[in-house]
Amino acid sequence: MGKIWAGRTNGTVNKIADDFNSSIRFDSRMYKEDIKGSMAHATMLGATGIIPKSDADKIIDGLETILNDIESGNLKIDFNAEDIHSFVEQTLTERIGDAGRKLHTARSRNDQVALDLRLYLKNEVNEVKLKLKELILTVCDKAQQYKSAVMPGYTHLQRAQPIVFGHHLMAYAMMLLRDIGRLKDAEKRLNISPIGSCALAGTTYDTDRNSEAQMLGLYEPCQNSIDGVSDRDFCIELCSALSLIMLHLSRFSEEIVLWASWEFKFIELSDDYTTGSSIMPQKKNPDMAELVRGKTGRVYGDLMALLTTLKGLPLAYNKDLQEDKESIFDAFDTVNSCLSVFCGMINGMTAKTEKMLLAAKEGFINATDLADYLTKKGVPFRTAYKTCGEIVSHCINSGKTLDQITIEEYKSFCDNFENDLYEAIDLQNCVNMRRSLGGTCTESVEKQIEYVKKSVTAN
């Protein structure tokens, strides 16, 4: 295929330079969006009389068959072409003759590529939103299953207060719900149509940009042609939203890796989401969680690459902008694969509730409840706090837990202790008493599940 821009030069480019310049290896994935965009453009050109209606119809038919042929495998994309836009236009002209040469009227590859990318990412965003929903619902199911399973909650990775596992899981559901919200917000600025901005300055033809935007399912045309061809904020916003998704998955992964270790043994991952070792026969490794944690760095890298590419770039189009695609595509590919594997991994995860309870019994995680008990008996909290600290120290010295020391021992620390203290420090009670909004009691977890499920279906 020759160059569509041959004219001023004969279009012969040094082979190494030509390969360097070509983007078809990575922009060919936008073939459908390129064709749909061109169909809308041809429709507009025909409807406004910028080109004869009969030519527009020929173009649209030709594009339709190109799309069908690519999808059925009858037409192979030529990787020697400069980019997907040239490939489609040249194939069209080869097939339908001179009418094909009219398609690029009142258009430039600069607004064309900006359009293709927006349309492509629109679908990608939908895919990620769907996967997020699926994962959120899976997390909700697990939370439902473990809404009463007591475990230690941590601060500083030190046992802190008793919680239920379902409550811990729902924290992740909340993060993922915000991730959907961020994507939806970014969509407001993504679904804007740059087509008709042309090279940078608009056009002398009497185009109808509104109808083009409408045909393509976009909200409205952009209001400045220079901005239209040079804006890549949408890539950065999306990549930033994707980075946060990865951050959340990475925190979740880290906990899964910890919980699956012999040191914790709070969970068991299903065999089909773990791997073995080539040398150590006993190993069952949480590779999926580790890989998700590892791939987070990739997506941050994509974000950094995009930010850096755009930084200091003069208006309007510059070839640097071609670099946007590999980064944003990689970020979406990575997030999509991580979300798919995560859903299966969580689905197959079982909690070792006895191990969790055992861990909750050690570490004095009911010490706050003991202090609260005294406070409710009229002791000022700071005094109660100090007394309970001394009792914990006494327990550590005598190798006991808070429920193992006698009422007489308690009374030697403070007169206000009575027999009902044992009820107050019972772990299940400690959890059930945390009834504040968003707290860890089972009913609160149930409410959270309901809230999240409602929000997910409303989205």
Q: By C-beta, is 24 or 150 nearer to ligand ARG?
A: 24
**122: closest CA among 222, 193, 62?**
193
Angle at Cα 294 formed by Cα 290 and Cα 296, nearest 5°?
Answer: 125
* Distance of closest approach, residue 109 Cβ to ligand ARG, in angstroms: 4
CB of 353 to ligand ARG, least distance (A): 53
Chain residues that interact with ligand ARG, rule: CB under 6 A: 23, 27, 83, 109-110, 113, 317, 321-322
Closer to ligand ARG by CB, 110 or 250: give it.
Answer: 110
CA distances from 47 to 42, 51, 104, 217, 420 (A): 8, 8, 15, 18, 83
Kindly tell me which of 27 and 55 has the beta carbon lying closer to ligand ARG.
Answer: 27
CB-side neighbour CA atoms (13 Å) of 95: 18
- Tokens matching residue 243: 């980075």
HEC letters along 32-93 = HHHHHHHHHHHHHHHHCCCCCHHHHHHHHHHHHHHHHHHHHCCCCCCCCCCCHHHHHHHHHH
Q: Provide the minimum distance between the beta carbon of 324 and ligand ARG in the complex, in angstroms, as a whole number.
A: 7
- Write down the catalytic residue from 72, 156, 278, 436: 156
Distance of closest approach, residue 291 Cβ to ligand ARG, in angstroms: 30
d(CA 360, CA 385): 20
> Which CB atom, from 24 or from 44, has the smaller least distance to ligand ARG?
24
Is 156 labeled as catalytic in the residue annotation? Answer: yes
The DSSP symbol for 313 reads P
First vs last Cα of the chain: how many Å apart? 46
The first and second tokens of residue 399, run together, are 């190798």
Cα separation, 339 vs 345, whole angstroms: 10
Tell me the residue number closest to ligand ARG, measured at CB: 322
Here the tokens at position 115 are 């359009």
Return the number of the residue (317 or 410) whose C-beta is nearest ligand ARG.
317
**The one catalytic residue among 261, 270, 277, 393:** 277
User: What ranges in 148-199 are assigned the alpha helix state H?
Assistant: 165-190
Peptide bond before residue 316 is cis, with ω within 30 degrees of 0: yes
Task: Tell the smallest beta-carbon distance from residue 86 to ligand ARG (Å).
Answer: 9
Residue 270 and residue 362 in contact, taking contact as beta carbons nearer than 8 Å: no
Q: Which is nearer to ligand ARG, 175 or 328 (CB)?
A: 328
Q: Smallest gap, in angstroms, from Cβ of residue 35 to ligand ARG? A: 15
DSSP 153: E
- CB closer to ligand ARG, 268 vs 333: 333
User: Do residues 102 and 16 touch, judged by C-beta distance below 8 A?
Assistant: no
Minimum separation from the CB atom of position 317 to ligand ARG (A): 6
The residue among 66, 127, 165 whose CA lies nearest residue 329 is: 127
In angstroms, what is the minimal distance from the CB of 319 to ligand ARG? Answer: 6
Residue number with CB closer to ligand ARG (25 or 376): 25
Write out the two tokens for 305: 């690459």
In the three-class reduction of DSSP (H, G, I as helix; E, B as strand; rest coil), residue 436 is classed as: coil
Structure tokens of 93?
Answer: 């002209």
CA–CA separation, 326 vs 303, rounded Å?
A: 11
List residues with catalytic annotation: 156, 277
